[in-house]
A = this chain, B = another copy of it.
Amino acid sequence: MTLKMGVVGTGAIGREHIERITKRISGAEIVALSDIHQENAEQIIRDFKLDAQFFATDAELIAADVDAVIVSSWGPAHEETVLKAIEAGKYVFCEKPLATTAEGCKRIIDAEMKQGKRLLQVGFMRRYDAGYQMLKQALDAKEIGEPLMLSCQHFNPQVDENYTTDMAVVDTLIHEIDVLHWLVDDDYESIQVFYPKQTKNKLSHLKDPQIVHLVTKSGISIHAEIFVNCGYAYDIQCRVVGEDGILSLPEVSSLGIRKDAKRSENLLMDWKKRFMDAYDNEFNAFINAIEKTGSPSYPTAWDGYVAAVTADAGVKAQQSGEVEKIDLPETPDFYRI
């Protein structure tokens, strides 16, 4: 069975997903595209020699002969397209954010539950990174007993002037928010943000670095450093202290070099290279889970909602300097997979 997919939004990330599905992944084909810039979509059809049709609107694309819709348009447009696709009973792969507000995410959850089966997968790719998967597997196997304290680092070499203080939470930390509660199989309880000494290598409107302190319902403490002008590398780290030891994400694979009075290994400067395989894996999981179970894989719409509610509390915490509660109901059974 080959899954027929339509893509709504053919900008940079949409294009990458199209290339992924066309060139590197089996089991799906791109049959429909929609974009506000028609010429953009048509260029992609030519570039990848797609046997695909252009639609002027998301509604028309959803109504066409497609099994699944990839939503990779501008963030604020996600919710509406997702809702239309769900109502039409189509599978959805939605790039983050699921919606720009927690309420929007909630509306999607309600629509999906009304359909009676899970149709949607959110594009938080870290869960499909080989390193995080090893970490998850080792934690689940209780290799270090119960996890007690996590420390993470999300460092970017540099950001441009459009990057604002709140984006440290809603764009950057959002990946840790999604992956960490999955990793320790726990829900968040509270969040606090500290501003340590600031780097000289930043624009004046921005707070950088920032330290985020998350606490889970069972009391696990998460210390996350967000530093988006660190200069030296795109460097993602995650370390879990458990009752019997410590586990850390693998370093990025690199040659051993002994040269110039140093032994060294190269780090990445470009974030795109870090999770390239994870992007492939999340689509493989989407396609295979639909084939096997009739529903896509995780992260679910509920995970998208958790991320939105936590990020909202995080932005509030950035402003208040206080410990902010994260109010989340229990995960519905519908979303337990």
**A272: CB under 8 A from chain B?**
no
**A151: CB under 8 A from chain B?**
yes
| Inter-subunit contact A149/B26 (CB<8 Å) | no
Residues A191-248 near B (CB distance < 8 A): 194-201, 209, 211, 213, 215-216, 218-221, 223, 225, 227, 230-233, 235, 239, 241, 243-248
Instruction: Pick the residue among B199, B216, B233, B261 that contacts A261 (CB under 8 A).
Output: B233
**A162: CB under 8 A from chain B?**
no
Residues of B within 8 A of A260 (CB): 232, 245
| Inter-subunit contact B264/A146 (CB<8 Å) | no
Cα A200 to Cα B218 with chains together (Å)? 13
Closest residue of B by beta carbon distance from A151 = B151
**A256: CB under 8 A from chain B?**
yes
| Inter-subunit contact B247/A255 (CB<8 Å) | yes
Q: In angstroms, how far is the closest chain B Cβ from the Cβ of A52?
A: 15
| Inter-subunit contact A258/B253 (CB<8 Å) | no
| Inter-subunit contact A241/B262 (CB<8 Å) | no
Residues of B within 8 A of A149 (CB): 196-197, 209, 211, 225, 227
**A16: CB under 8 A from chain B?**
no
Instruction: Pick the residue among B196, B216, B235 that contacts A258 (CB under 8 A).
Output: B235
Q: In angstroms, how far is the closest chain B Cβ from the Cβ of A14?
A: 18
Cα A265 to Cα B200 with chains together (Å)? 26
Residues of B within 8 A of A227 (CB): 148-149, 241
Interface core residue of A146, A200, A245, A258 (most chain B CB under 10 Å): A258
> Interface 1/0s, chain A 119-138, versus B by CB < 8 A?
00000000000110011001
Cα A246 to Cα B146 with chains together (Å)? 29
Count of interface residues, chain A, beta-carbon cutoff 8 Å: 74
Please tell me which stretch of A17-25, A107-115, A165-173 contacts chain B, meaning at least 4 of its Cβ atoms lie within 8 angstroms of it. Answer: A17-25
| Given contacts A197-B219, A244-B231, A131 and B253 within 8 Å (CB-CB) | yes
Cα A199 to Cα B253 with chains together (Å)? 29
**A266: CB under 8 A from chain B?**
yes
| Inter-subunit contact B148/A198 (CB<8 Å) | yes
| Inter-subunit contact B264/A262 (CB<8 Å) | yes
| Inter-subunit contact B211/A198 (CB<8 Å) | no
| Inter-subunit contact A250/B255 (CB<8 Å) | yes
**A143: CB under 8 A from chain B?**
yes
Interface core residue of A134, A263, A264 (most chain B CB under 10 Å): A263
Q: In angstroms, how far is the closest chain B Cβ from the Cβ of A21?
A: 8
**A77: CB under 8 A from chain B?**
no
| Given contacts A145-B200, A219-B198, A263 and B261 within 8 Å (CB-CB) | no
Name 8 A/B residue pairs within 8 A (Cβ), A-sorted: A130-B253, A146-B197, A200-B243, A232-B260, A250-B255, A262-B264, A263-B265, A264-B264
Which 8 pairs between the two chains have the least Cβ-Cβ distance?
A245-B259, A196-B221, A264-B264, A248-B256, A197-B219, A246-B258, A262-B264, A250-B253
